Structure 1
Amino acid sequence: MKHGTARPRWQWTRTGVLWPGIAVLAAGIASGCDIPAARAEDPSSVHPPLTPTRDVQVDYNVQPDGVPEPKAVRTWFAYNGGLMRIDSPQGMGETILNRMSRQVTIIINPQKVYSQLDARYGIRNPFLLDLSMTFSRKGSATVAGVPCTQWDVTTDQGSATACVTDDGVVLQEIGVDGDGLKGRLEATKVVYAPIPDSMFQPPEGYRKIDPPPPPGTPPARKDADGKGG
């Protein structure tokens, strides 16, 4: 789930692909809207683990509201959620989120290129929870053969239900996200196993390119010699 504050973000798309375009991510990063650092919580507050505490691969079916068929998305989590990789449907590309260095890497497989962006103001996405949300415990369930606790989750844009394992894996989420967009995601396969660091690096031989500027950015001005300035 995500929130109304501008930031590098995921979004439910009408095509049914949960996939951050380079320009969308760049726009969020360039907005300069600060996200407060995580602070000590009230001991009386109750919430599920906010990130996976073990290395895990999770396959999801993701379905925005109004889209007839779900799309398959594969994710990997390592270093207590500090590293995350999200593969787009049909293998078109990957997004790697490094929450420790606050860097986003966008990989585009058909062109064998990648871009890296400085997410200095934080990284959020629908597969992770955070303390800006309000939680209320509901009960228990089993998703993809794994037990989880059901929670009501509320943001300033709406509400959803989420089923979260005791080690912080979101197995199911149904409802409205922080931008007021409705959809559901549900795990279909969960594999706990060590994940090599290479899974969070661009593939060998891929070329690094600069990301395009955020939408609405004026074109670079040229001086008398025709050079940018």
Structure 2
Amino acid sequence: MIRLLASTAVVALVAVPALAQPANVRPTRDVSVTYRMSGFAGAPPQDMRMAFSPSTNKQRVDPPGGMGWMLIDRGANTAVMVMDAQRAIMTMPPATVAAMSQEIPPGATFTRKGNATIAGNTCTEWEMVAGQARGTSCFTDDGVLLRTVTSAPNGAAVTMEATQVTYGTIEPAQLTVPQGYTAMPMPGGAAPGAPPAR
């Protein structure tokens, strides 16, 4: 389940900005977004929440299911899964963190597709082709991802679309690992090293 939560966050949201080339691929001001996800791993449509603070360069992702949430520190290139019910955290492996901070793929080509209005906000759609990878993402001028459609490994279309966008200060507690939580290893992985940056 932890691996599913982590992969959901990575595939559906964190690596998605690599699929577009607008002026901004990350929010330039504090924002919270609720997304509706469909087509992922055969699961029924579900909601996922994201909060991003550019002043701290930290991002919180609450995947579907309520089993935990992920805190990504883009400045430090670290990420942890936080499980409040167990009062525990799991440090994501370097390969996962690298995927989260993935930049535009080398050799990618882009086509601007036009504009759309999603959740009351206007965005620009960009189609990207990089080798076998293909997708379309719609970003606001201030870097908020409002919709993305990508191809899953099985060929199915994975769609994530914003249903609510709220601008405003993100409380620091939402972007901080709670004190006193126990560090746990990823299932089948080695024990975590030094505690992640808080």
Aligned counterpart in structure 1 of residue 5 of structure 2, from 19, 40, 43: 19
Aligned counterpart in structure 1 of residue 104 of structure 2, from 116, 125, 131: 131
- In the TM superposition, residue 205 of structure 1 has moved relative to its aligned partner by 4.1
Task: Name which one, 1 or 2, has greater alpha-carbon Rg.
Answer: 1
8 Å Cα contact 1:155-1:178 kept in structure 2: no
8 Å Cα contact 1:91-1:109 kept in structure 2: no
Q: Residue 173 of structure 2: SS of its match in structure 1?
A: helix
Question: Following the alignment from structure 1 to structure 2, what is the Cα–Cα distance between the partners of residues 124 and 195?
Answer: 24
Q: Given the superposition, is the C-alpha separation of residues 179 and 170 from structure 1 closer, same or farther in structure 2, using an over 3 Å criterion?
A: farther
The one-letter code of the counterpart of 2:48 is V
Q: Residue 98 of structure 2: SS of its match in structure 1?
A: coil
Give unmatched runs, 5+ long, in structure 2: 11-19, 191-198
- In the TM superposition, residue 180 of structure 1 has moved relative to its aligned partner by 6.4
> Alpha carbon RMSD of aligned pairs, Å?
3.2
2:48 matches 1:73: yes
Matching of residues 188-199 of structure 1 within 5 Å: 188-199=163-174
Question: Following the alignment from structure 1 to structure 2, what is the Cα–Cα distance between the partners of residues 179 and 203?
Answer: 38
8 Å Cα contact 1:59-1:187 kept in structure 2: yes
Match of 1:47 in 2: 21
Question: Following the alignment from structure 2 to structure 1, what is the Cα–Cα distance between the partners of residues 71 and 154?
Answer: 22
| Greater share of residues in helix | 2
- In the TM superposition, residue 213 of structure 1 has moved relative to its aligned partner by 4.5
- In the TM superposition, residue 88 of structure 1 has moved relative to its aligned partner by 2.0
Aligned counterpart in structure 2 of residue 148 of structure 1, from 123, 127, 131: 123
| Higher RCO (C-alpha under 8 Å, 6+ residues apart) | 2
- In the TM superposition, residue 134 of structure 1 has moved relative to its aligned partner by 3.1
2:185 matches 1:210: yes
- In the TM superposition, residue 64 of structure 1 has moved relative to its aligned partner by 2.2
Question: Following the alignment from structure 2 to structure 1, what is the Cα–Cα distance between the partners of residues 102 and 36?
Answer: 18
Q: Given the superposition, is the C-alpha separation of residues 199 and 100 from structure 1 closer, same or farther in structure 2, using an over 3 Å criterion?
A: same
CA deviations on 1:85-129 (whole Å, 9 max, x unpaired) are 11122321001111111111111233221122463885334xx87
- In the TM superposition, residue 196 of structure 1 has moved relative to its aligned partner by 2.5
8 Å Cα contact 1:158-1:178 kept in structure 2: no
8 Å Cα contact 2:79-2:97 kept in structure 1: no
Match of 1:201 in 2: 176
Give unmatched runs, 5+ long, in structure 1: 1-12, 26-45, 218-229
Aligned counterpart in structure 2 of residue 61 of structure 1, from 24, 36, 45: 36
